[in-house]
């Protein structure tokens, strides 16, 4: 148990006494709050697990858990140490995964997250990266910005393409701006509205729509545009976050949707979807590449980020991209 509140813990003492086995026990205790269950998960006896915890507390000179009759409750200092254990075990897991990949002839693993609207931007980036490094493994996670930033903070992603969510995010992450997403109203190429001239947003309200949830920036822009024009939401709505559901319903029906050009631009070029001549005065906050502040990404991650920025720059400056907001 702790002996002094003033003892100084050096990095040398920490490295010589703290083991990954200790971190595993802390992780198990943090999840279960039960020493018996934690011991079972580590495949050791309960007395052995108790001794490991006692050794950790003596090394750190703090009490990490309250010994209550029915549970092991983390103290305030314990929660701080549990976060350290969780992050380092995550880092060790990624190290083992990448090392195994490299031993089998690969060049490491890149884990990237992207919001639904900009995820299609990654396709040409991945192709370009694989041309340079065919044996690099790239894992892509597609979610909303808030969930992506939480996983970035937990170090389960190397970087994300997202929008900042709150002022405190600027203290945790570095942000490299890519630009605003152009929003398009799209439909299938045979939609009757494509034959009309001087189309207004009000005329579109008579048709069924596919929309994202109200908490998303795209939906908020849509609702704001309706309010600016004195309109209420369409009566017939299908709500989803799946870009594949959007595309399937648009191609199979007369539904309408407002989506980022980065998500549907290729389909419009191939005449699989059509863009209606509706322009939005409102703009969505710029998105960009976000990394953990103070971290040093691997050379592979840095190169892939450079490719993402290159491709995004090309997309924003391609012919016809200006004035489409």
For residue 143, what are the contacts with CB-CB under 8 A and spacing of at least 6? 113, 115, 116, 151
Interval 25-67: pLDDT, tens: 999 999 999 999 999 999 999 999 999 999 999 989 899 999 9
CB of 65 within 8 A of CB of 78?
yes
179 Rama class: left (phi>0) / alpha (psi -120 to 50) / beta: left
CATH 3.40.190.290 maps onto the chain at 183-276
CATH of 11-88, one of 3.90.1150.10, 3.40.50.1220, 1.10.10.10, 1.20.1270.10: 1.10.10.10
CATH of 106-180+285-316, one of 3.40.640.10, 3.40.190.10, 3.40.50.720, 3.40.309.10: 3.40.190.10
* Maximum distance among all Cα pairs of the chain, rounded to whole angstroms: 82
Interval 90-130: pLDDT, tens: 888 878 877 776 676 666 789 999 987 777 788 899 999 99
Q: What gap in Å lies between CA 18 and CA 246, rounded to an integer?
A: 51
CB of 210 within 8 A of CB of 183?
no
Kindly report the pTM of this predicted structure.
0.61
Is residue 321 very low, low, confident or very high in pLDDT (cuts 50, 70, 90)?
very low
């Amino acid at each position: 148990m702790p002996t002094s509140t003033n003892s100084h813990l050096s990095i040398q003492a920490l490295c010589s006494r703290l083991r990954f086995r200790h971190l595993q026990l802390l992780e198990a205790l943090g999840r279960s709050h039960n020493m018996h269950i934690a011991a079972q998960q580590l495949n050791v006896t309960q007395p052995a697990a108790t001794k490991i915890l006692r050794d950790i507390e003596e090394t750190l000179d703090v009490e990490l858990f309250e010994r209550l009759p029915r549970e092991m409750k983390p103290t305030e200092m314990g929660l701080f140490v549990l976060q350290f254990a969780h992050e380092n075990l995550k880092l060790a897991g990624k190290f083992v995964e990448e090392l195994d990949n490299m031993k089998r002839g690969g060049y490491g693993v890149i884990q990237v997250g992207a919001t639904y609207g900009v995820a299609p931007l990654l396709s040409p980036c991945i192709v370009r990266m694989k041309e340079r490094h065919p044996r690099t493994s790239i894992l892509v996670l597609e979610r909303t910005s808030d969930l992506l930033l939480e996983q970035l903070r937990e170090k389960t992603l190397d970087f994300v393409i997202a929008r900042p969510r709150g002022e405190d995010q600027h203290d945790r992450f570095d942000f490299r701006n890519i630009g605003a997403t152009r929003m398009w109203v799209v439909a299938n190429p045979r939609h009757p509205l494509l034959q009309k001239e001087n189309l207004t947003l009000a005329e579109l309200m008579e048709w069924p729509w596919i929309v994202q949830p109200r908490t998303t920036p795209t939906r908020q822009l849509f609702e704001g545009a309706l309010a600016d024009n004195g309109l209420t939401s369409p009566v017939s709505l299908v709500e989803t976050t799946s870009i594949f559901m959007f595309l399937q319903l648009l191609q199979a029906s007369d539904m309408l949707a407002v989506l980022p050009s980065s998500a549907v631009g290729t389909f419009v070029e191939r005449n699989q979807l059509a863009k209606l001549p509706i322009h939005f005065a409102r703009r969505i906050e710029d998105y960009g590449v976000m990394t953990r502040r103070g971290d040093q990404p691997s050379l592979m991650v840095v190169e892939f980020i450079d490719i993402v920025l290159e491709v995004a720059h090309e997309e924003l400056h391609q012919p016809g991209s200006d004035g489409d907001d």
